[in-house]
Amino acid sequence: MAAALHMKITTFFLILFIAVSVHAAEIDRAAANLPGSEASFTQQFTPKGFKNSQSESGTVVFGTLPQMRWSYSRPEQKLFIFDGARSWFYIPADKQVTVADLDADRRAELPFLIIGDPAARDRAFVVKESSKGNVVTATLQPRSGAAMIRSVVVSIDAATHVIRSVSYTDREGNQTTFGFSGFHKRAAPADLFHFSVPAGVQVVQQ
């Protein structure tokens, strides 16, 4: 159960960094603003065929991309840390942490590892953009019919160059939306993006 949830969350974070590298001046500025910043987030997950969403919330700290630390506070405490090569998903109540390493084959499938490479990005997605007022919307459609994600929509505040939301639909038809608020600068040392396993916590290698 924890391993499956870890994979779903990992998928979103990989998508996020694919998204912020999309062709567009505003998204490039938003990506440049992420390192050394913290924000509050709300996650809404809507399973296919359902109208009601499952909601979670917390805070996220971004280091040098793609380093991230996501701290869920509601409805339960969870922690997701990604250092660029390894991820940790920790649920204190379960006394378990799921660890995933990215080997060479897996890395080759993840465009987020080559952020800023327009050629690689354009091989993976067809990008359409629109703007209305101070909001820039980028819609990404995968070129491969076998892709795990069917669409990604990124909303950016053009005045402040910060991401308002990232929404995606997976190939099963489930929709996940992350809304962000309260972006501010903060220290993000490298050790913030490493997880030390507490005593008595089971380690599951994915």
pLDDT at 110 over 60: no
Angstrom distance (rounded) from CA 66 to CA 70 = 12
- pLDDT attached to residue 114: 36
The architecture CATH gives domain 2-205? Clam (2.50)
pLDDT at 116 over 50: no
Report which of residues 96 and 105 the model is more confident about: 96
Percent of the chain with pLDDT over 90: 43
Helices in 34-127 by DSSP H: which ranges? 104-107, 118-124
Angstrom distance (rounded) from CA 178 to CA 108 = 26
Percent of the chain with pLDDT over 70: 78
User: Average of pLDDT values for 187-202?
Assistant: 94
Supply the pTM of this predicted model: 0.83
33-47, 71-85, 158-172: least confident range: 158-172
The full set of domain ranges for the chain reads 2-205
Q: What's the full length of the chain, in residues?
A: 206
2-16, 147-161, 180-194: least confident range: 2-16
pLDDT at 36 over 90: yes
Written as six digits, the tokens of 25 are 């001046």
- pLDDT attached to residue 61: 94
Q: Which amino acid is at 53?
A: S
- pLDDT attached to residue 7: 59
Q: Work out whether strand 86-91 and strand 96-101 pair parallel, antiparallel, or are unpaired.
A: antiparallel
